[in-house]
A and B are shown apart, each in its own frame.
Chain A
Amino acid sequence: MPTFDYAPAPESPSIVDIQPSYGLFIGGEMVEPVDGTRFKTVNPATEEVLSEVVAAGPEDVDRAVAAARAAYDGAWSRLSGRDRGKYLYRLARIVQERSRELAVLESIDNGKPIRESRDVDVPLVAAHFFYYAGWADKLAYAGFGADPRPLGVAAQVIPWNFPLLMLAWKIAPALACGNTVVLKPAETTPLTALAFADICRQADLPPGVVNIVTGAGETGRTLVEHRGVDKVAFTGSTEVGRQIARSVAGTRKKVTLELGGKAANVVFDDAPLDQAVEGIVNGIFFNQGHVCCAGSRLLVQESVADELLAGLKRRLTTLRLGDPLDKNTDIGAINSAEQLDKIRMLSEIGETEGAERWSPPCELPERGFWFPPTVFTGVSQSHRIAREEIFGPVLSVLTFRTPTEAVEKANNTPYGLSAGVWTEKGSRILWMAQRLRAGVVWANTFNRFDPTSPFGGYKESGYGREGGRHGLEAYLDV
């Protein structure tokens, strides 16, 4: 037993009120499905059933799109930017007021540690709404013409890794620009989106401006392919992104896709090593590695590789895995059985391909979906674990000798969402940033997000930008 043994410090789940079943949020109210079926959503940390939600059918989607269209043609498109901004400010403030409840709900439904939902996810959600609230009456100064017009109805499909944050990334700029939306949360994490429906009602948002239809892939496809939709925004896997790109080809729909990644975190021999270790941990073990921009490939200069890896392994032994609601938990549960299978499968492939697998001693809870923080050393570019997105707490370590080799290896991937550079040399940071083919390059940090900063991919990581002034373009007719 450790000398200083932290007693359990769980956040109380009693602050959230999860209903036994939910309908769909269409036209400003929760309605029963017409042709949808019901499925259960579980707590990934315990496998307990949390609630029953609807897998919306074509008729349901049709009603949602019609409600969004009616709202667009009615009050919303005639509203001044200043008034749209007022609603967004109101949403942001209610998110802040209900932040504790939202954080607990997110952790219960998603499995992520409460420390992250409380200190990262929910504050960023509010920040996004505040940020785009500010743009609503200033669109004329955004660089897209004197009076840029909205697109109409936006179909938005979001992933399960940051359920409420991805909702904010989608809804805030869409509403600021004057669009209305139909949003489909991921099938494993619908609860915070449904809580957001309640926030929309609380804010007196005009009916139909935000509609939320739950469901799985089929519902998403129906929504994206719906003829009444003017704009499609998707965050998720590259595979589904390709299907969406195909399905909207030849239509009027404008598309933005934010897809997978296999980011390189590049550590030079003159890096601040202790902070680099923190950055690596933050890069790949933040949110159990369920991060599209995760630093899943560590590229370390050979001359410091041993020292860095020793420090990294020592650091990993202090990570605390367990109950997501415990305020001291660093690593929570894997979001679903399906995802856990995928992580296990790719990790086994890593071993058979000859990479060396290491995990700190760590006890996994008996129930629920869990995977220990894992480091593969001796990984080569040709290994599958160096090429494919694992989307879990699995780090592949590769080495390099020169800056040119680092750039070559970092860019040698079909993806290009993010990258990290660790060096005390400012000129090298700039040199690297010019050459890395990635949408975000972090210097001496990793996985830092801010609503003012555009985010998006190169190559098969997608197209379009979310966040910042650039994020407005996706929702304006320009």
Chain B
Amino acid sequence: MTVTVPVGLADVTASNDTLRRFLHGLPGVDQVGVEARAAMLATRSIKTTAKAFALDLAIRMVDLTTLEGQDTPGKVRALCAKGRRPDPTDPTCPPVAAICIYGDLVPTAVEALAGSDIHVAAVATAFPSGRAPLDVKLADTKAAVAAGADEIDMVIDRGAFLAGRYLDVYDEIAATKQASGDAHLKVILETGELATYDNVRRASWLAMLAGGDFIKTSTGKVSPAATLPVTLVMLEAARDFRDQTGRQVGVKAAGGIRAAKDAVRYLVVVNEVAGDDWLSPDGFRFGASSLLNDLLMQRQKLATGHYAGPDYFTLD
């Protein structure tokens, strides 16, 4: 294993018992309290210069995503073109952070994104359910990396997690991290299936302990996907993890975020819960598809004072 368990936490993963004791020893999350805090932060009023900053930052944080059975090379190429120049009428509009696709389409994306700084993110490990033997999941990961993906979005084994087999989940993430090589590993917790905020906090720590570079809310295939309070709990976990270990892990909110207004709310939460160091594409991402056009529309509205109709924004 190349994964190094953070100093001071080495004993935690010695056995399923020690891991379980550690995770269950984390402070609980009060549901009413965390939802009230998220609701309060959602009332922040972000205007003028602050809004312009937030919209551009949000665009730079987008993992532009297509994860459908009907995806084709043509669809992926169109998405890559969109990601490179989201607003063809405005050269000051920044590109997105990454294009997120299924593993078999990685070569198409790599080719279409050549010469840009946009990352190629592949979902792997039997996405979205994660129900496959470990060697299949690892082969899935290795194939995506070999094809040129530099970010891997894996799913955890929620069944194992809910059954209390935390060490199995840990080992699987660690093995996937190893299989990913130099690629950045995002660990999808699928918080909609974990159901409680306590579980979200535990799964976040588990993923970070096992070497994940990012923790991600959802696959987008399960409802509810990302929510503001869930993301808040994950940001708290990332903040606390860095306090304790010195390693910064990013957070990705994915699924269900469609309006620019919502994206700005997430950035407010990032700002006030985790702080400056998470306010970049290395610290926070949005997994989204239709969000991008609303960001572009609001960006143009802010610059010109009026809304262009939806026909002025490309559908890819």
Contact = CB atoms under 8 A, between A and B. Distances in A.
A453 interface: no
A115 B43 contact: yes
Contacts of A424: 28, 30
A351 interface: no
Interface stretch (A179-187, A272-280, A341-349, A411-419): A272-280
Interface stretch (B49-57, B112-120, B125-133, B137-145): B49-57
A274 B274 CA distance: 12
Interface string B258-287: 000000000110011000100100000000
A29 B34 CA distance: 47
A4 B49 contact: no
B89 interface: no
Interface in B27-47: 27-30, 32-34, 36-37, 43-47
A9 B50 CA distance: 10
A396 B37 CA distance: 23
A32 interface: no
Interface in A323-370: 327-328
A271 B30 CA distance: 9
B43 A327 contact: yes
A381 interface: no
A453 to B, nearest CB: 15
A270 interface: yes
A5 B29 contact: no
A402 interface: no
A311 to B, nearest CB: 9
Contact of A5 (B33, B45, B49): B49
Interface residues on B, range: 20 to 34
A380 interface: no
A328 to B, nearest CB: 5
A272 B50 contact: no
B30 A4 contact: no
A279 B37 CA distance: 10
Nearest to A272: B30
Contacts of A4: 50, 53-54, 57, 267-268, 271, 276, 279
A3 B32 CA distance: 30
B193 interface: no
Q: Which interface residue of B28, B29, B53 has the most chain A CB atoms within 10 A?
A: B28
A3 B36 CA distance: 25
Contacts of A274: 27, 29, 33-34, 236
A275 B37 contact: yes
A424 B25 CA distance: 12
A3 B279 contact: yes
Nearest to B25: A270
Nearest to B52: A7
B51 to A, nearest CB: 7
B70 interface: no
A7 B47 contact: yes
A362 B183 CA distance: 42
A115 B50 CA distance: 19
A7 B45 CA distance: 9
Contacts of B29: 272, 274-275
Contact of B33 (A7, A119, A445): A445
A2 interface: yes
B263 to A, nearest CB: 13
Interface string B149-186: 00000000000000000000000000000000000000
A9 B47 contact: yes
B314 interface: no
Interface string A1-40: 0111111110000000000000000000000000000000
A119 B271 contact: no
A452 to B, nearest CB: 17
B275 to A, nearest CB: 8
Given A4-B271, A270-B28, A272-B27, A278 B33 contact: yes
A222 interface: no
A8 B51 CA distance: 11
B11 to A, nearest CB: 20
B44 A6 contact: yes
Contacts of A238: none
Given A275-B30, A327-B43, A444-B30, A7 B37 contact: no
Contacts of B4: none
Contacts of A278: 33, 36-37
A318 interface: yes
B48 interface: yes
A279 B49 CA distance: 32
B50 A273 contact: no
B50 A3 contact: no
Given A272-B27, A272-B33, A2 B46 contact: no
Interface in A98-122: 115, 119
A295 to B, nearest CB: 14
A226 B251 CA distance: 65
B279 A119 contact: no
Q: Which interface residue of A2, A4, A115, A327 has the most chain B CB atoms within 10 A?
A: A4
B45 A327 contact: yes
A424 B201 CA distance: 15
A119 B45 CA distance: 14
Interface in A170-207: none
Contacts of A275: 29-30, 33-34, 37
9 contacts: A4-B50, A5-B53, A6-B44, A6-B50, A7-B51, A9-B46, A327-B45, A444-B33, A445-B32
- Which 5 residue pairs are nearest across A and B when measured between Cβ atoms? A275-B33, A9-B45, A327-B45, A272-B30, A275-B30
Given A275-B33, A279-B33, 6 more contacts: A2-B276, A3-B271, A5-B49, A5-B53, A270-B28, A278-B36
Interface of A: 2-9, 115, 119, 270-275, 278-279, 318, 327-328, 424, 444-445
